Amino acid sequence: MTIPTANSTVLVTGATGFLGSYIVDSYARRGIPVRALVRKTSDLTRLKPHLETGKAAIVYGAMTDPAGLQRAVEGASHIVHVASVIGPNIPLEMYQTVNVEGTRALLELAVAAGVRRFTLISSAATYGDGFTPGGIVTEETPQRPSNPYGQSKLEQEQLAFQAYREHGLPVVVIEPPVIYGPRARVGIGAAFRLVKMRLAPLLDFGRGRINIVYVTDVIGLLEAADAGEAAIGERFLVAGPRFVPHQEILRLVARSLKVRPLYFPVPLWLTQIGLRLNNAILRLRGKGVFLKPDYFYAFSKGADHRLDKAKRLLGWQPQVDVTAGIPETVAWFLENDIV
């Protein structure tokens, strides 16, 4: 059986991060022992309650540290691989070194150790801009990443499924879009900071939509996948209950912050000029280019992620709409003086 139980040990990489900390919480709540792979510089605040109760233990290491990975995998029955680098200011080679080669090394150790399940937290970025008839994206949509992060996540998936086909490693892949919720520090936080400054840009005159997902809904899918064998060898898109207008998100943020921002239209041609200038500066500074000039053209259209497969195979469906999730997230940002 590949199902984690109280007799298992689940290794979680990226355990001190936003999603990783919720994953540790989930296993601890279910009475399943956790081993957290952490760097010596990591903030252990979110893990502390579980470390104190003995529900979790830590192993020091990193995705670029073979000895640390070896220590982490020894005796682990299950692995949930979350750790990845992401961001516009990360050297391009780090995506290969950390995301791809680190995953390759972890998979090789998992195969050698006879790990009973390997769950990869990938990304909807593997589908790129998601341009399809009607803007619909399913697990059958061709995966065409549009940035280095998406490409590295696609390579992670390819390595994982190769281990599944060639070595019988039970693999599950979960593909979230932007995740939001308490503890988040990137992504939707940029919108919060803008609105707090009383600025609310309406990209493409407010016509755009986006798929985002509340963090506990990602955990719900992970728990549904863990509960049986149906998820093995499969990948699952995960998103919120609906395809949400950007404008609605900005208004929910403004209402939660109790501010009245200036809503102003941003034509897409202006974003293209801005990104061209930004990318030219990055190249002059020797940095890699993360966003192509037409990025906001794609972002404004959005990609409607369909969740039929997870509903059919796992009986899962998202529970938290933005009307509840955004106020909860804003409250946490304010409480922690993030915005």
Give the phi and the psi of residue 75 in degrees, each rounded to 5: 85, -5
Give the pLDDT band (50/70/90) at residue 90: confident
Domains and CATH numbers, the chain: 10-184+210-242+303-319 (3.40.50.720)
* Distant-in-sequence, close-in-space partners of 140: CB < 8 Å, separation ≥ 6: none
Whole-prediction pTM: 0.93
In the predicted model, is pLDDT for residue 66 greater than 80?
A: yes
Strand partners for 210 = 244
pLDDT of residue 327 exceeding 90? yes
How far CA 188 is from CA of 69, 163, 249, 287, in Å, comes to 32, 34, 10, 24
* pLDDT tens, position by position, 116-152: 999 999 999 999 865 555 678 999 999 999 888 999 9
Q: Using an 8 Å Cβ cutoff, are 259 and 198 in contact? A: yes
Round to whole Å and give the CA distance between 321 and 179: 13
pLDDT in tens, 206-238: 888 888 999 999 999 999 999 999 999 999 999
Q: Tell me the mean pLDDT in the region 240-251.
A: 93
| pLDDT score recorded for residue 61 | 95
3-state secondary structure at position 173: strand
**In the sheet that 10-13 helps form, which strands lie side by side, from edge to edge?**
56-60, 34-38, 10-13, 78-81, 117-121, 171-175, 234-237
DSSP 196-261: HTTEEEEEGGGT-EE-EEEHHHHHHHHHHHHTSSTTTTEEEE---SS-EEHHHHHHHHHHHHT---
User: CB of 305 within 8 A of CB of 236?
Assistant: no
Which two three-digit tokens encode residue 122? Answer: 């990938």
Query: To the nearest whole percent, how much of the chain has pLDDT over 70?
Result: 97
- The whole-angstrom distance between residue 282's C-alpha and the CA centroid of its chain comes to 25
DSSP 184: -
Q: What is the model's pLDDT at position 339?
A: 61
